[in-house]
Amino acid sequence: MQKRKALSTDEAFLISEKIFENFINYFQPVSGDKVHIFISIEKFKEIDTQTFINYFLSRNIHVFVPKIVDAKLISVEIFKDTKFEINNWNISEPVSNKDSGESDFNYVITPLLYCDDKGNRVGYGKGFYDGFFENLSSEAKKIGINYFNPDENIDDVWENDIPLDYLVTPTDVLSFFKGGE
């Protein structure tokens, strides 16, 4: 979190653009794909995902975003004209509470504070994504995006934690599949 906060606004924007380019070049999403992606929290200086969302929507890629309803993360499909509001955590989310019920995503782009070289992620400690991951199709690629590459292991991995499949950084796309891909 401290390393992220030390980035200037311009640095964060430029790095976010590079992460976006690495994602597009590596995964090459196409029309009809389904992507679940978080909406960036500016005050946490998260990777800017608006570029991703605009790209997906302009190419007829189905876009779903998280919303917390009754202490559970649901997936709401959004469109170019979707209305948004700011929630109690000061996070932008769609006005709609309609859960798409979708679990068969091509890509699930996930927020994180840190990811180690085994795909274990550290989030914000609320556990929303752990529960969300449990219900995903086994074909869904769980992808973290981060400003930094892993440089140390996470000590307190819980046996039921579900690791990421990939991590996209400004310099790399790392795969955590057993046996590689």
pLDDT (tens digit, 9 = 90+) per residue, 133-179? 999 999 999 999 999 998 777 666 666 678 999 999 999 999 997 64
Alpha-carbon span 92 to 39, nearest angstrom: 7
The pLDDT mean for the chain works out to 90
Contacts for 74-81: CB closer than 8 Å, 24+ residues apart: 74/99, 74/100, 75/36, 75/99, 75/100, 75/101, 75/102, 75/132, 76/100, 77/102, 78/53
Bridge partner list, 166: 143, 175
**Is residue 104 within 8 Å of residue 140, measured between CB atoms?**
yes
- Global pTM reads 0.92
